[in-house]
Amino acid sequence: MVGYHHAFVLFLKDLCLTFAFHRTEGVIWPVY
């Protein structure tokens, strides 16, 4: 399930980026 795991990680990263975007009122932090 490597493909599934990779997609899940990307999904979590997208959530983190979205959360950071809203938390900082428009400032996008380079979250990796």
CB within 8 Å of 29: residues ≥ 6 apart: 20
pLDDT given at position 20 = 64
7, containing H or E segment: helix 2-23
Where exactly are the structural domains of the chain?
Answer: 1-32
pLDDT given at position 24 = 55
Alpha carbon of 14 to those of 1, 7, 20: distances in Å? Answer: 20, 10, 10
pLDDT given at position 25 = 55
The answer to whether residues 20 and 31 touch, using CB atoms and an 8 Å cutoff, is: yes
pLDDT given at position 32 = 43
**For 1-32, how does the pLDDT look when each residue is reduced to its tens digit (9 = 90+)?**
567 888 888 888 888 777 766 555 555 555 54
Fill in the amino acid letter for 30.
Answer: P
Fill in the amino acid letter for 24.
Answer: T
